[in-house]
Amino acid sequence: GAVSANDNALWEKSTLNQILQRGELRVGLDVGYMPFEMKNKNGDIIGFDVDIAKAMAKAMGVKLTIVNTAWDGIIPALLTDKFDIIMGGMTITAERNLQVNFADPYLVIGQSLVVRKDLEGKVKTYKDLNSGDFKVTAKLGTTGQLAAERYLNKAEIRLFETESDAALEVVNGNADAFVYDLPFNAIYVQQNKGSVFHLGEPFTYEPLGFAIRKGDPDFMNFINNFMRQIKGDGTYDRFYEKWFES
């Protein structure tokens, strides 16, 4: 009858059906966001999101293709079918959720700060940086930019295309602090101990979720059940320990 014909049409259009027909899962992400996606010395794209993407493609029985995309254009790229899903540590925000659908959160993080070493002891919370005396950097189009504009609006805010350029400004002493997701900052500070310190108390609440195009209940159902399975069977914990606790 009418109901099953409708269900069929939905499934025909589903991204999941197209992935299976194509034999390929295309994942959009933005390389440089440690430890979720970055390049190793051989130039391979590795990280937490990449391991989950590989496991997802395997569960679908298809090959994985990674589509590296600049962050400020990543939602338009999803909407114009450059790939099937964003797996890039994207914070679920109401504004983004008007354009895309998010699977259930796979991790919760917050913004923290990479701060110039000279300011250690003087700057104790993000509030201390909210003054015209300070220059703050962030990556374009991120929730770091939003947090800077919201909580550090008295400081001079400078935006950069990549997280490495934005953070390097602080290392070089051209800026006082860089606002970004805590996991990235924790690693970055470890790698640049001599010149920066971590103001590591997160000051925002940010659930991260995979994003897909709207109107696709079949694909959403697969993603959420796949994630529930790997969270329950130890796979997710193995990935988490590999990328966040070493």
Residues in contact with ligand ARG by CB under 6 A are 29-30, 33, 36-37, 71, 88-91, 142-143, 181
CB of 197 to ligand ARG, least distance (A): 21
* Cβ nearer to ligand ARG, comparing 147 with 223: 147
Q: Which is nearer to ligand ARG, 137 or 142 (CB)?
A: 142
Report the residue number, 119 or 182, with the smaller CB distance to ligand ARG: 182
Query: Does residue 100 sit in helix, strand or coil?
Result: coil
Helices (H), 139-181: 143-151, 163-171
CB of 37 to ligand ARG, least distance (A): 6
- Minimal distance, residue 216 CB to ligand ARG, in Å: 21
- Supply the minimum distance, in Å, between the C-beta of residue 8 and ligand ARG: 35
Distance of CA 18 to the CA centre of its chain: 25
Of 57 and 148, which CB lies nearer to ligand ARG in the complex structure? 148
* Residue 76: C-alpha distances to residues 9, 49, 85, 142, 211 (Å): 25, 20, 12, 15, 12
Q: In the chain, where does DSSP find H-type helix?
A: 2-13, 15-22, 48-60, 74-79, 94-97, 143-151, 163-171, 182-191, 217-232, 235-244
